[in-house]
A and B are shown apart, each in its own frame.
Chain A
Amino acid sequence: MADQWGELERNPLREGLQQARTPDPNCFVIFGASGDLTRRKLMPALFRLYVQGLLPSRFSVVGVARRPLADDEFREQMRQAVATYGTLREEAAGRWERFAALLRYVASEFHDAAGYQRLGQVLAEEDEHRGTGGNRLFYLATPPDAFPVIALNLGQAGLARPASGSWTRIVVEKPFGRDLHSARELNDRLHAFFEEHQIFRIDHYLGKETVQNILVFRFGNAIFEPLWNRRYVDHVEITVAETVGVEGRGAYYDATGALRDMVQNHMMQLLALTAMEPPATFAADAVRDEKVKVLRSIRPFTPEQVRTDAVRARYVPGLVEGRLVPGYRQEEGVAPDSTTPTYVALRLMIDNWRWAGVPFYLRHGKRLPKRVTEIAMVYNRPPLRLFRERDDASDRVEPNTIILRIQPDEGISLKFAAKAPGPAMDLRSVTMDFLYSASFGISPPDAYERLLLDAMLGDHTLFTRSDEVEVAWSILQPILEEWDRSGEGMAIYEAGTWGPSAADDLIARDHRRWRQL
C-alpha cells in the first residue's frame, strides 16, 4: 500500500472510529532483539497494541541479534519480558500464544552480510505466509555504533528499498550522534540508503501525552497564548530531575554524560515545543519546521558564555529516597577519574521577536532528591506593589507561574496570589491544579505504544527530522568543545541534593532562584 495520507479517504467506514487507520500489514524487524530496550519497552508495547487490536492482522515480528536462539526460545524470552515489564494479566495471557506465533528470530552479527541474506529470506517467507505485503519496519534497538553498519548492510542486501506498492522504514533510537560532526555523519550514512521520509528518529519524550499536551495547552486555548511571550514572561525553567543513578549503564553513561544523554534530545524538544511559534497546520513538517526555527534562534554560546552560562557537575555519595548511594565515580563501569557530568544547568537566550530578553534555564541531573520533569513559565510581578503596607505580604507571594508537569503527577498548575482570610490585607500564593489522573481517570498510554503505532502508520509528527537533530547539536557543540578543551569547572554535588552551588549562582546572577520542587 502506498505510503500516503490519501489512504484515509478510501475507506469511508473508518470515519468517526477510535482508530483513524489500522497500520498496513507489515513485518516489524527488531535489531538488538535480546537487548534491554526490546525487553523493557518494545515487546511490551507491541503486545499491548496487539491486545488492543491496534496491529494489522497480517503482521509479524522478526528479532535479530547475535545470540543463537531458536524461534521458540526467543518467544519464551519475550513472554518473560512482557510478564516482567508489561501487562501479561490473566485475560491477556490467553492472547500471548497467538501473539507469540507471530514472532521469529534470526541470529546474526550486525556486520555479517550473510545474516542479512537470511533475514531477507525470512521476510519473503513472512510475506508469503502471513501476507505482510512487502512492508518492513526496521527498528534499531542497538548500541548507536551499530546504526551505520546495519543501515549499510540493509542497503547492500537490497532491503532498504521497498518493492513497488510497499514501504520500508527505519527507526533509530537515541543517541543520534555524540556531537554535531557524528550526527551529520550518521545522517549521511542513513541517507545513503534511506530517504528522509523513511527514517524515524525516536525521542520517546515526544510520545508522552503530557508533552503532546504542551501544544494543545498553548494552541488549543485562547487565554494562554497571548501571555506566552516576553511582555509577560520573566523567565522559563525546564527541569528534568532524576533520582536514579546510572542503573547498570555505567560504561555507556560515562561515554555520554548528562548533556548528550538528556539535554540534546529530550530537553531541547521540551524547549522547542514550549517556545515555538504556532504551526500553520498540525502536519508533521509544519510542526517540525517551527521547532527547527526556534532552535535556530537560540543564541550561540561563546567560550566565555560557556564558563558563565553552563554548569556541569558530578554527584558524590549521599542519601536518596532514604538510602545511602555511592558517588558517580564509584558506580560500576565508571572510570575512577571520570570527568563525565551527571548534572547540567544552562542559561539559554532565544533571539527572536517573542522571546528576546527572556532567559530559559535548563537543569538536569541524576541522583537528585525527586523525580520531576516540568516546564515552569514564571511571570513578571505586578507593576505596582499595591499591598506594600504589609511589607512581608508581597514577599510571601511568588510570581504567577504556569507549571506544565510532564511526570510524575502529570498535569498543569497555575500559581496566583489570594487574600488570606482575616482583617489584614495578607496575600498568599495559592495553586489551581489540573491533574490528568483526577480529570480523566486513566493513566496515559506508554510513549512507545504511540510511537510504534505512528511509525507503522508513517506519521512523522512525533519523530525528529535530520535538520532538527543537527541544529540541536549545533547549540551544544560549543559547550562540548569548551568542556573538552578545559578541564576546569567540574563541580560536585551530594547525591540527594538539588545540584551544585554553581547552578544556584548561575541563576542568582540574574537575581532569580530555581523553583523549589
Chain B
Amino acid sequence: MTVRPVFGFATPVEPVAVGAVPQYLTTLWQRLTREQAATGPLTPARMLNLVLYGEDDAVPETAERLAASVAALHPGRLIAVQVDRGRGGTEMTAHVSVRCVPDPTGQRQVCSELVLLTVPAALRRYVPHALCALLLPDLPVALWWTGTPRVEDPLYQRLTADLASRVLLDSRAGDQPPATLRALARWCAERPTVALGDLAWARLHPWRQAIADCFDQVNSSPPPARIRRVELISDGVGVPADALLLLGWFASRLAWQVKGASQEPDAVRVDFLCDGRRVQARCGWVTDAQALPTLAAIRVEVALGSEAFGFEVHRGHDVNVVHTHVTPPGGPRSARTAGLPEPRDEALVARLLNASLPDPLYRAALDRAAQIAGALA
C-alpha cells in the first residue's frame, strides 16, 4: 500500500487477514486510547457503515478521498471493496487503518476506520459474505457503487437486497444515459423503500435552486406553470443523464405529460402537454468537448400575458458557480451567482449520505426522465 493518508492523524495502513480485521481494530483502539496523551483526545464516532464498491485501479485513492470527505460528517467504518478482474488467486486481502480528523472546534479528533478489501475476480460473488463479517452492528449500511450503474448485475442486486439500506450511484457514469435511466427507474419502482442517492441528481441541486429562485424574484413573477419553452445545452456529445433528469424534474413538478420526442443531429426535442397547453423542450449539445457530457446552461421562457419572462442559468467559466440572469417584463435585468457543489464525487457522496429515506422528488423526476428516454428509443 503506497497511498498517502490525507488526515490529521492516521495509523499506518497494515495488511491484516480478512478474518482478523475486527479483532485487529479492537486492539488498535485500545492502544490508541492509551496513547491519547500523545495524539490528543480521540473520539471513535460511529454513525454509519459505508461500503465503496469498484472494479478499477482508482479504488484505493477514491477510498482515501472518500474517507477524508465523510470522516467528519459521517464517521464510522468505511469498507472499500476493489474487485480486481485481472487478478487470480483464491484469497481476499485486507488493509486496515484508523483515520482521525480534527473536529470543528479543533480540540479533539474524530476517528473512523478504513478497510480496503481486495478481491480476486474468482471471489467476486463472495463479497457479501466478507462484508457481513466486517460491518459494524446496529448501524445503517450505505453502498456507493462506483462506475457504470449495473442494476441487473447479480452482485449489485445481492448487495442492495441483503445489506444496504442506502444506495449511491452516478447515473451520469454510464455511456448510454437513456438506457441507464430507464433501468434505474424500473429498479426503483420495484424497491419503493430503498434510499437511492444519485450523484447526477445531487449535482443538479444548485441548478434547481437557481431556477426556483427565478420565480420568486419580482413581486409579480409568473408562476412556473406558465413555462412554455425550456432549452438545455450540454458540453459533449449526446444528452447527458443530468439534462434528462432536470427535464424530468420540470415535468414531474409541473405535471407535464410526455407527448413525443425526436432526435436531431445536435439535439433532441421533447414535446409535453399540460392542461391542453403545449410545452417545448430542446436538449442540445456542443460537439467539441469532454468524455462525459454535462449540463452547461438552461434557458427558460415563461408566458406573461402578451409578453415573455425569460431567464438563463449557466455554468461559469471556473465551473464552480452558476450564473443566473432574469429579465422580467418592464423591470431591471438582474444577475446572481451561486456556488455549484464540490465537483469531486466523494463530497457529493458525503452530502447524499444525509438522506436516509427515498427522495420522492428524485423518483418522480427519474420516472419522467425514463419516459422521455423511452420516447427517444
Whether A133 contacts B43 by the Cβ 8 Å rule is: no
Whether B218 contacts A442 by the Cβ 8 Å rule is: no
Whether A18 contacts B218 by the Cβ 8 Å rule is: no
Whether A439 contacts B47 by the Cβ 8 Å rule is: yes
A487 at the interface (CB under 8 A from B): no
A435 at the interface (CB under 8 A from B): yes
Q: How far is the CB of A105 from chain B (nearest CB, A)?
A: 22
Contact of B209 among A19, A24, A130, A442 (CB under 8 A): A19
B331 at the interface (CB under 8 A from A): yes
Contact of A438 among B43, B249, B334 (CB under 8 A): B43
Contact of A437 among B104, B211, B215 (CB under 8 A): B104
Can you name the residue of chain A whose Cβ is closest to the Cβ of B350?
A441
Residues of B within 8 A of A421 (CB): none
Residues of A within 8 A of B360 (CB): 16
For chain A, the count of residues having a C-beta within 8 Å of the partner chain is 40
Interface residues of A in 1-20 (CB under 8 A from B): 1, 7, 10-19
Whether B110 contacts A441 by the Cβ 8 Å rule is: yes
Please measure, in the bound complex, the distance between the C-alpha atom of A130 and the C-alpha atom of B205, giving whole angstroms.
Answer: 27
- Chain A 430-473 interface 0/1 with B at a Cβ cutoff of 8 Å (1 = within): 00000101111111000000000000000000000000000000
B217 at the interface (CB under 8 A from A): yes
Whether B43 contacts A435 by the Cβ 8 Å rule is: yes
Residues of B within 8 A of A11 (CB): 212, 215-216, 223-224
Residues of B within 8 A of A52 (CB): 339
A489 at the interface (CB under 8 A from B): no
Contact of B219 among A17, A165, A443 (CB under 8 A): A165
Interface residues of B in 190-230 (CB under 8 A from A): 205, 208-209, 211-213, 215-219, 223-225
Whether A441 contacts B334 by the Cβ 8 Å rule is: no
Residues of A within 8 A of B205 (CB): 17-18
Whether B73 contacts A440 by the Cβ 8 Å rule is: yes
Q: How far is the CB of B13 from chain A (nearest CB, A)?
A: 23
Whether A53 contacts B337 by the Cβ 8 Å rule is: yes
A11-B224, A17-B205, A441-B72 known; A57 vs B324 contact (CB < 8 Å): yes
Q: Mostly helix, strand, loop or mixed at chain A's interface?
A: loop
- 13 examples of A-B residue contacts, CB within 8 angstroms: A15-B361, A16-B361, A17-B209, A25-B217, A56-B213, A56-B217, A57-B334, A131-B331, A439-B75, A441-B72, A442-B72, A442-B104, A443-B105
Please measure, in the bound complex, the distance between the C-alpha atom of A19 and the C-alpha atom of B210, giving whole angstroms.
Answer: 11
A22 at the interface (CB under 8 A from B): yes
For chain B, the count of residues having a C-beta within 8 Å of the partner chain is 47
B217, B219, B223 pick with most chain A CB within 10 angstroms: B219
A1-B219, A17-B209 known; A57 vs B43 contact (CB < 8 Å): no
Can you name the residue of chain A whose Cβ is closest to the Cβ of B338?
A53
Whether A17 contacts B212 by the Cβ 8 Å rule is: yes
Whether B104 contacts A17 by the Cβ 8 Å rule is: no
Residues of B within 8 A of A1 (CB): 219
Residues of B within 8 A of A131 (CB): 218, 328, 331-332, 334
Whether A12 contacts B253 by the Cβ 8 Å rule is: yes
Please measure, in the bound complex, the distance between the C-alpha atom of A7 and the C-alpha atom of B108, giving whole angstroms.
Answer: 44
Can you name the residue of chain B whose Cβ is closest to the Cβ of A53?
B338
Residues of B within 8 A of A57 (CB): 213, 217, 324, 326, 334-336
B266 at the interface (CB under 8 A from A): no
Residues of B within 8 A of A134 (CB): 219
B139 at the interface (CB under 8 A from A): no
Please measure, in the bound complex, the distance between the C-alpha atom of A129 and the C-alpha atom of B334, giving whole angstroms.
Answer: 10
A24, A25, A165, A435 pick with most chain B CB within 10 angstroms: A435
Contact of B212 among A14, A24, A408, A437 (CB under 8 A): A14
Can you name the residue of chain B whose Cβ is closest to the Cβ of A444?
B104
- Chain B 314-342 interface 0/1 with A at a Cβ cutoff of 8 Å (1 = within): 00000000001010100110111111000
Residues of B within 8 A of A10 (CB): 223
Q: How far is the CB of B156 from chain A (nearest CB, A)?
A: 26
Residues of B within 8 A of A130 (CB): 332
Please measure, in the bound complex, the distance between the C-alpha atom of A25 and the C-alpha atom of B326, giving whole angstroms.
Answer: 13
A266 at the interface (CB under 8 A from B): no
Please measure, in the bound complex, the distance between the C-alpha atom of A57 and the C-alpha atom of B325, giving whole angstroms.
Answer: 10
Interface residues of B in 60-91 (CB under 8 A from A): 71-75
A21 at the interface (CB under 8 A from B): yes
Q: How far is the CB of B326 from chain A (nearest CB, A)?
A: 7
Whether A13 contacts B253 by the Cβ 8 Å rule is: yes
The 5 nearest A-B residue pairs measured at CB: A441-B72, A53-B338, A437-B103, A443-B104, A57-B336
A17-B209, A56-B216, A441-B104 known; 17 other A-B pairs, CB under 8 Å? A10-B223, A11-B223, A12-B225, A13-B249, A14-B216, A16-B359, A16-B361, A25-B218, A52-B339, A53-B336, A98-B337, A130-B332, A409-B105, A438-B103, A440-B73, A441-B71, A441-B103
Residues of A within 8 A of B213 (CB): 22, 56-57
B45 at the interface (CB under 8 A from A): yes
- Chain B 234-264 interface 0/1 with A at a Cβ cutoff of 8 Å (1 = within): 0000000000000001100110000000000
A58 at the interface (CB under 8 A from B): yes
Residues of B within 8 A of A129 (CB): 332
Can you name the residue of chain B whose Cβ is closest to the Cβ of A128?
B332
Can you name the residue of chain B whose Cβ is closest to the Cβ of A12?
B253
Please measure, in the bound complex, the distance between the C-alpha atom of A409 and the C-alpha atom of B224, giving whole angstroms.
Answer: 45
Residues of B within 8 A of A439 (CB): 45, 47, 75
Whether B103 contacts A13 by the Cβ 8 Å rule is: no
Please measure, in the bound complex, the distance between the C-alpha atom of A58 and the C-alpha atom of B103, giving whole angstroms.
Answer: 37
Please measure, in the bound complex, the distance between the C-alpha atom of A454 and the C-alpha atom of B45, giving whole angstroms.
Answer: 33
Please measure, in the bound complex, the distance between the C-alpha atom of A21 and the C-alpha atom of B254, giving whole angstroms.
Answer: 18
